[in-house]
Structure 1
Amino acid sequence: MNFDPVLLAARMPSMKSAGFWRDETINPYFQRALERFPEKIAIVSYRQGEAEPVRLSYRELDRRADLIARGLVDLGVGNSDVVSFQLPNTWEFLAIALACARIGAAANPVMPIFRQHELKFMLRLAESKVFIVPKTFRGFDHEVMGRDLMSELPDLRRLVVLGGDGEDNFERALLRDDTPPLATEALAPDDVLLLMYTSGTTGEPKAVMHTSNTLFSNLHAYIQVMQLSEADIVLGASPMAHLTGFGYLAMLPLILNSTTVLMDIWDPKRALQIARDEGVTFSMASAAFVSDMCLAVENGEQPAPTFTKFNCAGAPIPPVVIERAHRLMGLRISSAWGMTECGAITITEPTRALEKSGVSDGRLVPGIELRVVDANGNPLPAGETGELYIRGASLFAGYLKRPQLNATNDEGWFHTGDLAFIDAEGYLRINGRSKDIVIRGGENIPVMEVENLLYKHPAILTCAIVGYPDKRLGERACAFVTLKPGACFSFEEMSRYLAEQKIAIQYVPERLEILESLPATPSGKLQKFKLRQMAQQFAVDANC
């Protein structure tokens, strides 16, 4: 694979001389853990339905990562190849990521919610050589789906199935001890470490390229602001196939030489039990996770006394949730803002979390610059809303095979597509989005892609999807449609049709409204802001 990370070269001299790019991959960090704490527990992996978790020391995790790396080489994976894996939060996920770094391959985790429609595009664009899936997860047969995809993806050499049978079984394919020792070149700091898909306004996912230098520069800054150390026990409940999970719940604990505790399926009552049993101190996820734990405590579950730090990202956190979490659980909620393209680049310090997290998205971390400008590109004073641009150490290396979408100018400024203002103390507040997405529970819903599918339904004349507020998930999605003369359409038909298109169930709008016409300008341009105003009443109706 020729990744062509076009956004790296211009930054290299300044980022390296300033010390933001340390030229280290995950491999030396892991080696230091092996030397310092070989018997320390690196991963505690909880699976629903299993009474006891899998506990792996750094020594045992090293052994398994080495076997997987050798197994991948035996399957034909080499330097700059892509390994895609669609796994929940399990020890295998993290071991695969480590194995990829040892052989110079790029890790491409994809969310378990994705189905054929999304995966066919993603794996084809990445030219994935190996695809690793669970046999089943949440009642869905990923193995059957993976075999269907094999016939349509000429670059895909092998399907590996966790819990499967035959030669494609994970243990037989990737945990064999008869493969030769590694002789391949390991990942270099400016090689592509991670391919992660993000949904934008183009109607198709974009593959964000991160190197060890771009991603880890943000993790070092994050560790500094959140005051984390090797003594922390990190709860990994947010999906590791998101940058939140991969960066802050998988890579960050390894950099710290600390411990991460994984949950494959979210259950707030069980999460609190695990936090108590394991002495969890920190986690990061969307506000929905916090709301769920608060409700569990109100229903009688005991909080974990060690669990005091939580970082919320993905959408603004309602102040009531921050107060409630602190009152019920002693949890300090630090707000953050970021993107897959840059990581969490503004964070509210834990010492000011109760004061600022409900009214801001934090202050800049070291190594990043931002500016808020008007329509003509002129900087705006504090308190005025404008377009948000960023540049610096943790900005991505570009979109795979789509450099025309990089949205970065000659000076290195990246157009985020968000509207924001900066307060008098330098705290950022996201104040709307110019990009056409809905954020549901921290998950970006690719609005245009879903709209394009709905347009193909024989009953639909026009359609538009907008978000409306939801107390738990941040937003839900409503589809506004107009129908062709004499046609009928219903919420049930919409759900059935989109399921037939094999898109992720989380992308299906929670509400349908049928109108005679959609609001538009005299020139015919759709006025989505009017639909958003109409959709506000649904939040009121739902007591949000």
Structure 2
Amino acid sequence: MVPVNPLLKEEEIEHILSDSQARALLAHRETKIARVGQPVLDLNLELRLDLSLYKFDSLQSADQESSEQDFDSTAALIVYTSGTTGKPKGAVLSYANVAFTIESYPHRFYLKQDDMLLGVLPLCHLYGLLVVLAGALKAGCGIVLMKQFDAAEAILLLRSEAVSVLPAVPTMHQFILMELDKEGKDSRLENLRLCTTGGAAMPRDLLVALKERLRVPVLEGYALTETTVIATLNPEGDARLGSVGTAFPGIEIAIEKDGIRSSRSFAKGESEVGEILLKGACIMKGYFNNAAATAEVIKDGWFYTGDLGYLDADGYLYIVGRSKELIVRGGMNIYPREIEEVLLRLPAIAECAVVGVPDRYMGERVKAFIVLKSGACLTEDEIKSFCKSHVADYKMPRAIEFLDKLPRNSTGKVLKRLLC
């Protein structure tokens, strides 16, 4: 299965359909993709599956161990995640990867059958699909799904449905906190016992404010699509401010700097800052039909995240930055190169550079620096109008600045750090 974000534009969805070699598309009837043509089946209100298509009997055969191994290594999901080359790459996740994630989270959340989760996260994202939805099903607890996030409606549901666990991204937590502030400083969510946050870095001040206001633990974790959205999580009762927690059982963390890999802290109490490496049953099989890209990030069984961080003496991981150019807006990943390629389709643009700049509510927003060709004329509104037709709304450049030239080093590489 290939989950697709419905917020993507037609050409973005077409790339995923083509690259994944999908043979069928299950979509809402309002989805319009010209090259796909008319739907061949209208499912209306229910989907009937022929269970004979699934060979469960093979798992009960005499060669059960071999069959289970084959099943575990079979691709379950191809999840598209943007890359620095611009076009999204399909991370192939096996049934074993998926099972590891679904089995692990309920234990760390201490989910019980009388718990109720609020599903505010998109199910096209692994956090919403595997951690929230599948995790609730695995634990046998209840879940309330929202069609789309709205802070006021979320608070109504948190109260009316007696929600006890709220998994969300920092931006959602921020808006819920703002909505509660409108009710007064004594406003509470009486049934809530736990908040979790992921998908983007949680600002320290927001985490502290959320804990003080809700009076419940707020557990921050760290993961990537390529690690089946599992890696670390702050343990309840022993969370450390500023850290994304310790590794889940079965996952190893290492820090590599200058070619030297270390999976322990140094005598001073913390390791040196370096690239974060992960290893374990969560690591993807690779990028679909892209051996070169796979070889760049998986070496000797270790997944090279491209993120920078360090470990303290007790194995808690701290993220200090990203070596990649990823922009995270409201928990949604945006890679600058993808936006730059769209901008360069405009004939008047000679060159451009896209960066993420701080945003109080969304974490980051997209800013584009534009250099026009000599004698060309192009307005900010014209650029935004063009982008609106080619990229999802959350990827839209919110700010545009025109420059005479981009700052570059001696080799011609754009120095984006001078633009932030």
TM-score (norm 2): 0.89
Distance, in Å, in 1 between the alignment partners of 2:121 and 2:261 is 38
Residue correspondences, number = 397
Identity %: 28
Structure 1 match to 2:96: 213
Question: 1:162-201 maps to which residues of 2 (within 5 A)?
Answer: 168-171=41-44, 175=47, 182-186=51-55, 188-201=71-84
Distance 1:236-1:210 versus aligned 2 partners, 3 A rule: same
Q: Deviations over 1:386-437 (max 9, x none)?
A: 1111111111121111122123455201111111111233211111111122
Displacement after TM superposition at 1:338 (Å): 0.5
Within the alignment, does 1:308 sit opposite 2:202 as a pair? no
Q: Deviations over 1:509-529 (max 9, x none)?
A: 111111111111122111111
Secondary structure, counterpart of 1:352 in structure 2: coil
Within the alignment, does 1:345 sit opposite 2:231 as a pair? yes
**Farther-moved stretch of structure 1 (411-420 vs 124-133):** 124-133
Q: Deviations over 1:493-538 (max 9, x none)?
A: 11111123x3211111111111111111122111111112xxxxxx
Distance 1:448-1:186 versus aligned 2 partners, 3 A rule: farther
Displacement after TM superposition at 1:383 (Å): 4.2
TM-score (norm 1): 0.70
Distance, in Å, in 2 between the alignment partners of 1:485 and 1:513 is 17
Displacement after TM superposition at 1:384 (Å): 1.9
Question: 1:353-392 maps to which residues of 2 (within 5 A)?
Answer: 353=239, 356=240, 358-379=241-262, 381=266, 382-392=270-280
Distance, in Å, in 2 between the alignment partners of 1:189 and 1:416 is 24
Distance 1:191-1:159 versus aligned 2 partners, 3 A rule: farther
Question: 1:200-279 maps to which residues of 2 (within 5 A)?
Answer: 200-279=83-162
Secondary structure, counterpart of 2:419 in structure 1: helix
Displacement after TM superposition at 1:278 (Å): 1.3
Structure 2 match to 1:520: 408
Question: 1:112-191 maps to which residues of 2 (within 5 A)?
Answer: 112-136=6-30, 142=31, 145-146=32-33, 148-151=34-37, 159=39, 168-171=41-44, 175=47, 182-186=51-55, 188-191=71-74
Displacement after TM superposition at 1:307 (Å): 1.4
The amino acid of 1:127's aligned partner reads Q
Secondary structure, counterpart of 1:511 in structure 2: strand
Displacement after TM superposition at 1:113 (Å): 0.5
* Contact 2:79/2:90 (<8 A) preserved: yes
Structure 1 match to 2:66: none
**Farther-moved stretch of structure 1 (517-526 vs 289-298):** 517-526
Distance, in Å, in 2 between the alignment partners of 1:272 and 1:300 is 11
The amino acid of 2:176's aligned partner reads M
Structure 2 match to 1:58: none
Displacement after TM superposition at 1:366 (Å): 0.5
* Contact 1:218/1:345 (<8 A) preserved: no
Paired residue for 1:395, among 283, 288, 302?
283
The amino acid of 1:456's aligned partner reads R
Within the alignment, does 1:432 sit opposite 2:321 as a pair? yes
* Contact 2:105/2:135 (<8 A) preserved: no
Q: Deviations over 1:29-53 (max 9, x none)?
A: xxxxxxxxxxxxxxxxxxxxxxxxx
Distance 1:452-1:129 versus aligned 2 partners, 3 A rule: same
Question: Which residues of structure 2 form unaligned runs of 5+?
Answer: 57-70
The amino acid of 1:376's aligned partner reads G
* Contact 1:305/1:330 (<8 A) preserved: no
* Contact 1:190/1:213 (<8 A) preserved: yes
* Contact 2:254/2:261 (<8 A) preserved: no
* Contact 2:101/2:131 (<8 A) preserved: no
**Farther-moved stretch of structure 1 (124-133 vs 201-210):** 124-133
Displacement after TM superposition at 1:150 (Å): 1.0
Structure 2 match to 1:467: 356
* Contact 1:200/1:206 (<8 A) preserved: yes
Distance, in Å, in 2 between the alignment partners of 1:496 and 1:421 is 42
Distance 1:452-1:254 versus aligned 2 partners, 3 A rule: same
Distance, in Å, in 2 between the alignment partners of 1:300 and 1:479 is 38
Report the aligned-residue RMSD.
Answer: 2.0
Distance 1:498-1:408 versus aligned 2 partners, 3 A rule: closer
**Farther-moved stretch of structure 1 (115-124 vs 320-329):** 320-329
Displacement after TM superposition at 1:465 (Å): 0.7
